[in-house]
Amino acid sequence: MTAPETKIPDFPGIAGKRVLVTGASSGLGVHFAQLFATQGAQVTAAARRLDRVEALCDRLVSEGHSAVGLQMDVSDAGSVTAAMQDCAFDIVINNAGTTASTSALDHTVDDIDAVIDTNLKGVFHVARAAADGMIRKGTGGSIVNVASILGKRVAGQVSAYAASKGGVMQLTRSLALEWARYEIRVNALCPGYIETELNSDFFASEPGQALIRRVPQRRLGQASDLDGAVLLLASDLGGFMTGADIAVDGGHLVSSL
Ligand X SMILES: NC(=O)c1ccc[n+]([C@@H]2O[C@H](COP(=O)([O-])OP(=O)(O)OC[C@H]3O[C@@H](n4cnc5c(N)ncnc54)[C@H](OP(=O)(O)O)[C@@H]3O)[C@@H](O)[C@H]2O)c1
- The single residue of 11, 161, 179, 193 carrying the catalytic annotation is 161
User: How far is the C-alpha of 67 from the C-alpha of 59, rounded, in Å?
Assistant: 9
User: How far is the C-alpha of 199 from the C-alpha of 218, rounded, in Å?
Assistant: 17
- Asked whether position 34 contacts ligand X by CB under 6 A, the answer is no
Q: How far apart, in Å, are the Cα atoms of 206 and each of 104, 202, 209, 210, 214?
A: 23, 8, 5, 6, 13
- Asked whether position 142 contacts ligand X by CB under 6 A, the answer is no
Query: What b/e sequence results for 13-38 when a residue is b if at least 16 CB atoms lie within 10 Å of its CB, and e otherwise?
Result: bbeebbbbbbbbbbbbbbbbbbbbbb
- Asked whether position 75 contacts ligand X by CB under 6 A, the answer is yes
Query: By rule CB under 6 A, what count of residues binds ligand X?
Result: 29
Shortest separation between residue 119's beta carbon and ligand X, angstroms: 6
Binding residue (CB under 6 A) for ligand X from 13, 23, 69, 141: 23
Pairing label, strands 245-248, 42-47:
unpaired
- Asked whether position 145 contacts ligand X by CB under 6 A, the answer is no
- Asked whether position 28 contacts ligand X by CB under 6 A, the answer is yes
- Asked whether position 47 contacts ligand X by CB under 6 A, the answer is yes
- Asked whether position 191 contacts ligand X by CB under 6 A, the answer is yes
Burial of 4 (0-12, 13-18, 19+ CB in 10 A): exposed
**How wide is the angle at C-alpha 232 spanned by C-alphas 227 and 235, nearest 5°?**
115
Burial of 150 (0-12, 13-18, 19+ CB in 10 A): buried
- Asked whether position 151 contacts ligand X by CB under 6 A, the answer is no
- Asked whether position 225 contacts ligand X by CB under 6 A, the answer is no
- Asked whether position 69 contacts ligand X by CB under 6 A, the answer is no
Binding residue (CB under 6 A) for ligand X from 14, 17, 25, 130: 25
Shortest separation between residue 32's beta carbon and ligand X, angstroms: 9
Residue 72 and residue 47 in contact, taking contact as beta carbons nearer than 8 Å: yes
Shortest separation between residue 54's beta carbon and ligand X, angstroms: 11
Pairing label, strands 18-22, 42-47:
parallel
Binding residue (CB under 6 A) for ligand X from 70, 83, 129, 146: 146
Shortest separation between residue 191's beta carbon and ligand X, angstroms: 4
- Chain residues 234-253 in contact with ligand X, contact rule CB under 6 A: none
Residue 186 and residue 178 in contact, taking contact as beta carbons nearer than 8 Å: no
Active site residue 193: no
- Asked whether position 194 contacts ligand X by CB under 6 A, the answer is yes
Binding residue (CB under 6 A) for ligand X from 39, 44, 118, 235: 118
Q: Which range touches ligand X (CB under 6 A), out of 9-17, 36-44, 69-77, 81-89?
A: 69-77
Query: What b/e sequence results for 73-96 when a residue is b if at least 16 CB atoms lie within 10 Å of its CB, and e otherwise?
Result: bbbbbebbeebbeeebbbbbbbbb
Shortest separation between residue 5's beta carbon and ligand X, angstroms: 20
DSSP 118: I
Q: Which range touches ligand X (CB under 6 A), out of 19-27, 34-42, 131-139, 178-186?
A: 19-27
Point out the residues that are catalytic.
Answer: 161
